[in-house]
Amino acid sequence: MLVRVKPGAQLSGAEQEFVECLRSYPSAALAMIDVPVGDRRIDAVIWTPRGLTVLEVKGFRRRQSGILSIAADGPWKISDAGADLDEPSGSPSDRLEHGISAVKTTLERALIDPGHVCGAVVLVPFRGAVVRPSRTNLRPGLDVVVGNVADATELRIYLESFSAGPRKWTADRVIGDCTALGLADRTPSRADLVEAGFEQVAQESPSVVPRPPKPRVEPTPGVATKKHSYAGWAVVALAVVGMLAVIGVIANSLAHESSHPEPPVTSVTPTSTPPPTSYHPCWPFQQDC
């Protein structure tokens, strides 16, 4: 993981241990520590190839161990005692939400799509102290994790899986985000980001990647058995018997017609004969001639 700290930043003991944890992770990511955005100071902004997250780092003023109870509107407690956090004024979740809003607004004003910006409160207890949150989800997109050098598993799991989307954050997109947030002076080069694990071209969504057609598998005939041979001969025999039966029916019909010829048809229509003619001599001045 690439970690860049603001020059001259005055980090608390918890923040220094947090930076030490990040530098030990082999994850593909870029962490910017102590990021001023507007009138706010954000503890950390981290980019991975799949997303962007804002972190609020909180340490303890004394050693405390137990189950962490998180209240939406009220002080956090560890084993029924108030959590003695650094800078106790204000709710850590409220400060985190304000930081997320500031990052999104700054990127949108620069005409950059911020995507879904997640966030988490990172609690850094004293080494040897064991703190476990009763629930890890504050609100949708907001989590709480515990991490120090001795117990950094939860923090690493969160950073590697807080966003399960496609790998849309390329090296150029990370550089554009950092420039919009005023971090160009400590932004790694494009080559360093690619070497750290960021891709040069955004990965397409699986839903639009064309899939090659499946090859057509022609059915292969199986090995003929005696049972199959008998069935084949039976079909041939039935076909021959059927043909002989049809020929027999045709021959019988022809023989029946030849032995019983039909009588000739005679016409009964009478023929007309012209009436007989007779000759009558006619004399001059005869009346009826």
State how far the Cα of 60 lies from the Cα of 277, in Å rounded to an integer: 154
**More confident of the two residues 246 and 7:** 7
**More confident of the two residues 70 and 216:** 70
Q: What is the mean pLDDT of residues 67-79?
A: 81
**More confident of the two residues 173 and 231:** 173
Residue range 114-132, pLDDT digits in tens = 988 999 999 999 988 888 8
Residue 218 has pLDDT above 80, yes or no: no
pLDDT at 207: 46
The overall average pLDDT reported for the chain is 81
Residue 214 has pLDDT above 70, yes or no: no
pLDDT at 213: 61
Residue 56 has pLDDT above 60, yes or no: yes
Neighbours of 263 (CB within 10 A): 5
Specify the 3-state DSSP secondary structure of 78: strand
**More confident of the two residues 249 and 169:** 169
Tokens standing for 165? 């989307």
Residue range 130-179, pLDDT digits in tens = 888 877 787 888 899 988 877 788 888 999 888 877 889 999 999 999 99
pLDDT at 57: 94
Band (pLDDT 50/70/90 cuts) for residue 225 is low
The answer to whether 145 and 125 are in contact (CB under 8 A) is no
Contacts of 93 (CB under 8 A, 6+ apart): 70, 72, 121, 138, 139, 142
Contacts of 141 (CB under 8 A, 6+ apart): 116, 117, 118, 119
pLDDT at 282: 60
Residue 208 has pLDDT above 50, yes or no: no
Give the highest mean pLDDT range of 121-130, 183-192, 238-247. 183-192
Q: What is the mean pLDDT of residues 49-65?
A: 92
Tokens standing for 74? 């009220």
